[in-house]
Amino acid sequence: MVQRVHLRRRHSYNTVSNKVRKVKTPGGKLTVHYVTKIAKAPSCKDTKKRLSGLPRVRPGEFSRLTKRQRTVSRAYGGVLSHKSVRDRIVRAFLTEEVKVIKRRVAASKKAAK
């Protein structure tokens, strides 16, 4: 016959947040361990890809981590991937270059008149 277990919490319904795992103790007693939900990995806000160097933890646990564990030491550290940051820097540089070229063209047209 199946051995019954005694729940540790009052909540008895089999919901997503109340999953249990039956564990046999060294004393031969069958007890219950509550299983925590699997966390989603932090992702890049632009490309939606997983950010490397950051742990997969639940939001409550994430807030208890130290600042060093929550971010990567770079501009837009725990928010954007390295590729997205590089693309933004290159895009900003190229737009500035275009502005400079437009000013030169305008100045050369003025000098030609």
pLDDT in tens, 7-48: 999 999 999 999 999 999 999 999 999 999 999 999 999 999
Amino acid at 24: K
- Containing 102, the helix (H) or strand (E) segment is helix 82-112
| Confidence grade of residue 112 (pLDDT, cut at 50, 70, 90) | confident
CA atoms of 60 and 37, how far apart (whole Å): 12
- pLDDT given at position 113: 75
Per-residue pLDDT of 58-105, as tens digits, reads: 999 999 999 999 999 999 999 999 999 999 999 999 999 999 999 999
